[in-house]
Amino acid sequence: MSDHDARVTQLKCFENPSEIKALGGGITNVNLKVTDGGRDYVVRLGEDIPEHGVKRWNELALSRAAEALGVAPRVVHHEPGVLVLEFLTARTFAEEDVRDPANLPRIIDLVAKTHRGLGAHLMEPVLTFWPFQVNRTYVTRLTSENSPHAARLPDLMAEQEKLAAALGPVDLVIGHNDLLAANILDDGTNLWLIDWEYGGFNTPLFDLAGLAGNNGLSEAQERMMLERYFEADADPRWRPYQAMKCASLMREALWSMVSELHSDLDFDYAAYTAENMDRLSAALADFRNT
C-alpha cells in the first residue's frame, strides 16, 4: 500500500474505502478517486505551498462558497493537507473543448455567474490574487534562487510595467484565477469549476484573459467573450484585456519556472515553461500592435 493510499484509509469520513485510483491532470496536488459505501469521492492531498501563495484554508472557503452557488462539487470532509469532494460523473475539458463554439458561451456564462454570485456565499474573508504582484514575487524568488531563467527576468518585469500602465482602473470580483481547461468539467447538463487553490479577489479580466490565453482562443472568440460577459462592445476594453492576457500568461510561465525548482510531482515543468513563454511572446506581439 502506498503512503497516499494509507492516508486515505485513515480518513474518518470513510468507512471502508476501496478502489483508490490516481486521477490525472493535477500539476500541484495529488488527486485520488476513492469508492466508499457505493459512492465515489475525490481526495485532494496537498499542504500549503508558500512559493505559490497557496493557503488551504482559502481553498476550502472558496470551495464551500462555490458549492453553495452550484458551480463546484460538494465538500465532504477536510483536515490539514486533505480535501475530500464529491466525485462528479463528468468529462474533463481539453483545450479544444473550450474552443468549441458549442461550449465557449456556456463557459463564459459560468465565469460570469461565479464572479457575480460567489461573494454572497462566503463565510469568511479570502485572499487577493493580484497578478502583477504575484509575478513580482515570483521574479524575486527566482532571482534569489539562481533560476536558470534568471537572465530573462528583467525584460519580463520591464514588459510588466507597460502592461500595468495599460490596464487602468479595475473592478474587483472573486475569481477562480486558474482557468485551465482541466479545471472545467461537463456532466452533460451543467458545467463545473474545480481546483480553487488560487481563487480570490481579482479583476474579471484576469479570468477572461486566462481562459483565452490558456486555451488558444482566436481573436474573434475573445471579442465574443468580452461582449457576452460585459453585455457591451468589446472595443473599449480590448487594450486593457490584451494587457491582462499578457500578465496572465507571464504568471503561468513564472509559476512553471518556480515549480521547476520546487515541485516533486512527476510533470515536465520545463516543457510547460517553454510552452507558456511561446504563448506570452505571441500575446506581447499582439499587445504592442493594439
For residue 113, the domain's CATH number is 3.90.1200.10
Residue 55 has pLDDT above 80, yes or no: yes
User: Span 175-201, mean pLDDT?
Assistant: 97
Whether residue 156 sits in one domain with residue 27: no
Residue 1 has pLDDT above 60, yes or no: no
DSSP designation for 51:
G
Residue 102: burial class (beta carbons within 10 Å; 0-12, 13-18, 19+):
exposed
Q: Name 85's bridge partners.
A: 42, 75
In the block, which residue shows the cell 461573494?
Answer: 119
CA dist., res. 174 & res. 127, Å (int): 9
From 56, 86, 116, the end of a domain falls on 86
CA dist., res. 182 & res. 189, Å (int): 18
Provide the phi-psi class of 25: left if phi over 0, else alpha when psi is between -120 and 50, else beta: left
Whether residue 151 sits in one domain with residue 238: yes
Q: Write down how long the chain is.
A: 290
Amino acid 83: pLDDT: 97
Residue 62 has pLDDT above 70, yes or no: yes
From 62, 86, 110, the end of a domain falls on 86
Give the distance between the most distant pair of CA atoms in the chain: 60
Read off the pTM: 0.93
Kind plus residue range of the DSSP H or E element containing 73: none
Percentage of the chain modeled with pLDDT above 70: 99
Q: How does pLDDT run across 101-149, given as a tens digit for each residue?
A: 999 999 999 999 999 999 999 999 999 999 999 999 999 999 999 999 9
Whether residue 53 sits in one domain with residue 197: no
Whether residue 157 sits in one domain with residue 276: yes
Amino acid 4: pLDDT: 82
Total count of domains within the chain? 2
Whether residue 99 sits in one domain with residue 52: no
Q: What is the mean pLDDT of the chain?
A: 95
Pick from 20-29, 203-212, 235-244, 262-271: least confident: 20-29
Whether residue 58 sits in one domain with residue 161: no
Q: How does pLDDT run across 215-232, given as a tens digit for each residue?
A: 999 999 999 999 999 999
Whether residue 275 sits in one domain with residue 171: yes
In 3D space, the residue among 17, 91, 85 whose CA is nearest the CA of residue 45 turns out to be 85
User: Span 65-86, mean pLDDT?
Assistant: 97
Q: How does pLDDT run across 87-99, given as a tens digit for each residue?
A: 999 999 999 999 9
CA dist., res. 13 & res. 34, Å (int): 12
Percentage of the chain modeled with pLDDT above 90: 90
User: Span 172-201, mean pLDDT?
Assistant: 97
29 compared with 73, residue with greater pLDDT:
73
Whether residue 172 sits in one domain with residue 81: no
Residue 27 has pLDDT above 70, yes or no: no
Residue 18 has pLDDT above 90, yes or no: no
Residue 213 has pLDDT above 80, yes or no: yes
Amino acid 82: pLDDT: 96
Whether residue 150 sits in one domain with residue 39: no
Amino acid 5: pLDDT: 81
Outline where the chain has alpha helix (H). 3-9, 56-69, 95-99, 104-117, 131-144, 153-167, 204-215, 219-230, 235-262, 269-288
Whether residue 66 sits in one domain with residue 188: no
Pick from 3-17, 55-69, 104-118, 185-199: least confident: 3-17
From 45, 60, 86, the end of a domain falls on 86
Whether residue 140 sits in one domain with residue 82: no
Amino acid 38: pLDDT: 92
Question: What amino acid occupies position 9?
Answer: T
Question: What amino acid occupies position 243?
Answer: A
Domain enclosing residue 225, as ranges = 91-288
CATH code, domain with 29: 3.30.200.20
10 compared with 134, residue with greater pLDDT:
134
Amino acid 28: pLDDT: 73
Q: How does pLDDT run across 174-184, given as a tens digit for each residue?
A: 999 999 999 99
Whether residue 216 sits in one domain with residue 126: yes
